Structure 1
Amino acid sequence: MSDHDTTEPLDPLPDGHKPAGSSHWNTLGRVFFLLITAACFTYLYFRLQGAASREGLTLVEYMVDVFANVQWVPWLLLMMGYSCLFFLIDTLVVTRALNWFVVKIRYRDILPIRASAYIISIFNEQIGKGAMAFYLNRRDGAPGWEVASVMLFIMFCEFFYLLIWATTGYFFSSSILPDVFVMIPVIAVGAVVVFALWVMYFRGLLLPRNSLRERRILHAFRRAQLKHYAMFFLLRSPALLAAVFVYSTALNLFGVEATFLGVLGYLPVIFFAASVPTPMRAAAITLWVVLFPENEGQMAAFGFVQHNFFILFNGLIGLLFFKRAQRELFGPVKVGSAGA
């Protein structure tokens, strides 16, 4: 169901109506994240070079030795299974969110859309979500801005879902976490306040005369009830718990001792770092090395292959659905066919 009776394509703004300075801010953003990437790789280089020197090896010899001691076959099977499970859960979350707020659509019809978006997500996860909005608008005639609002809703919920699990992990394993993690419960309390104000605003209880909430891009938040936020958490959480199991097992395959509860304390925070748009997930790789300083080589190798294999394998899943997605995307446009 949409706020509008007609289906409109998700068109970009005309050149004369683009926000002033948007190109300037985009350039600054790219430079900022490139600087973060450079800082991460510089840090990794000196940490790994230091570890290699302590072993009396060159950096190349040191890393070759690290990779040679990984149990690759069980790791590969583990990661392939996890990637497939994540894809199924991720598609379920997207399907339910679309059904809640925009259009009644079957799970199997979302599979090629979500899978194909993984190809774009190799470069940028958020652009991948935007591509899904365009895909649904083109294939099913779903209102473009309303679908985009669902993608925003999902991104918003992912922040709080990770924060809930980060807080849970902190209380289970605070004794083995770095001192800085004591800030997690403090951040969580602040997030509860922000969430409450957010819900009150979209219920019209806060700033009732403000019209920003009426924007089509915020459609999902106007429709959302507390049960939708709770259901998102319940639907998404199996993926996080599976990830904790997979990552703790994979760490041991890389020669690093790790337990389920210990990784539960680290992983949500690392997933926050993985969402930073740096090439090859440089921020997440660096954080692994920072959090496990006694295993620099293993953690650099682990972070690199773990995060990038996951992204690339998801892209491979997308290729399996690509022909169907291409056929649906460039077939006849459906107008006004989607609604709930």
Structure 2
Amino acid sequence: MSAGTIPSSSDPLRDEIPAARATPLWREAIPYLGTLAIFALIFWRIPIRKVEQALSQVPILDFLAVFMPYSLFYCAIDSACLTWVVRRFNARMRYSDILPIRASMYVLALINTSLAQGGVAYYLHRKAGVTFLSALSSVLFIAMLEIYQLFLFSTLGVIFYTPVGVAQTRIVAILRVVYIAAWALLAGIMIFFAIARRSARIRNWVENGRAGALLATFIQARPLDYLVVLAIKAPTFLASVVAQYYALALYGIAIPFVKLMLFLPLVFLAAALPISVAHLGTSQAAWLLFFSTNASPAKIVAYSLAAQLTFMLCNALIGLVFLPRASRELTELRAEPASSSATA
């Protein structure tokens, strides 16, 4: 099947999409309870009125002027990375095909990151005629390397940053151990799949396992592919550090650039934990942990809330611009198999 061929209604590729399972109520409640618990702890230590007062001093228009260009840059690079991975492992697709769906999924990602990833995979499945799980494998491959991109820059920060005080010295010492383990894990993953490519027995064991289809991209990926994805994504983190650095200065908070390089990845990693809603709570706790010595706790919380919500707003605005086109194309893709079967 060539790229761009849409499977018919009897095509087994359509049947490969796993049926949605009802999520237990207690599991759905975890992010909401986690968010409430974290904010309860924060405001137990910091009077909420002080945070409100600090929020009233946030230069919102200046923040938009900083974060909107960053969001546009992030969207462009993010779409370029997805295009390269899809072309490398799945199907020949154009950047102009990928950009609308990738941008529109930012709106869904505000609610649930996993749903947004699944939405991208579903579009690739319908648009390019690739299996849903193989498309999802490529999306997960990028997601894993996005985490390691944060590890990469934070590792550089650990090397060049001189900790101040006993607490930071302990944190940096722990980070060094964690990073050694994390990079060893990545090396182990790459070595395992390299062996699987050479051993028919191991490859068959992986491919025939329950997660075999989800590991399709990992089996094909070679060390150079990992480096290419990291290289494509790297400018987005560097741009985020620059954006945060200037936004902090606009708000009257001075944080050394190298310190941002070291600890900002940890803030992003904390925000990615699936225990809060829209990445709120965990991000504020991480900002307090690493940057409370640079300004009053109330001002740090206010900045983290304002910066995060501004970035989310910018992403949502970009997503809303592309949403009509993405929705129209998905509707057309759903209608094509029905019209094809009717004419047959």
Shorter-normalised TM-score: what interval? 0.7 to 0.9
- 1:285 maps onto 2:287 in alignment: no
Q: Please point out which of 253, 256, 260 is paired with 1:259.
A: 256
Q: After the TM superposition, which residues 1-340 of structure 1 pair with which residues of structure 2 at under 5 Å, given as runs?
A: 8-9=13-14, 11-13=16-18, 23=23, 26-49=24-47, 59-60=48-49, 62-176=50-164, 177=168, 179-203=170-194, 204=196, 208=202, 211-214=205-208, 215-277=212-274, 278-280=276-278, 281-294=280-293, 295-333=296-334
1:74-113, Cα deviation, whole Å (9 max, x unpaired): 2220011111111111111111111111011111111101
Paired with 2:146 and 2:171, the residues of 1 have a C-alpha distance of 22
Paired with 1:311 and 1:89, the residues of 2 have a C-alpha distance of 17
Query: Residue type of the partner of 2:119?
Result: A
Higher mean C-alpha displacement, 309-318 vs 320-329: 309-318
Query: Residue type of the partner of 2:181?
Result: G
Paired with 2:118 and 2:77, the residues of 1 have a C-alpha distance of 19
Paired with 2:12 and 2:51, the residues of 1 have a C-alpha distance of 55
Paired with 2:163 and 2:333, the residues of 1 have a C-alpha distance of 59
Q: Percent identity?
A: 27
**247 and 178 in structure 1: CA distance in 2 versus 1, 3 angstrom threshold:** farther
Q: Which residue is 1:53 aligned to?
A: none
TM-score by length of 2: 0.84
Answer whether contact 2:64 2:310 (CA < 8 A) is retained: no
Superposition CA RMSD, Å: 2.5
Answer whether contact 1:146 1:217 (CA < 8 A) is retained: yes
Give 1:225 deviation, angstroms.
Answer: 0.4
**119 and 156 in structure 1: CA distance in 2 versus 1, 3 angstrom threshold:** same
Answer whether contact 1:117 1:131 (CA < 8 A) is retained: yes
Higher mean C-alpha displacement, 231-240 vs 212-221: 212-221
TM-score by length of 1: 0.85
- Structure 1 ranges of 4+ moved more than 6 A: none
Answer whether contact 1:10 1:145 (CA < 8 A) is retained: no
Residue 157 of structure 2 aligns to a residue whose secondary structure is: helix
Answer whether contact 1:244 1:264 (CA < 8 A) is retained: yes
Aligned residues: 316
**209 and 291 in structure 1: CA distance in 2 versus 1, 3 angstrom threshold:** closer
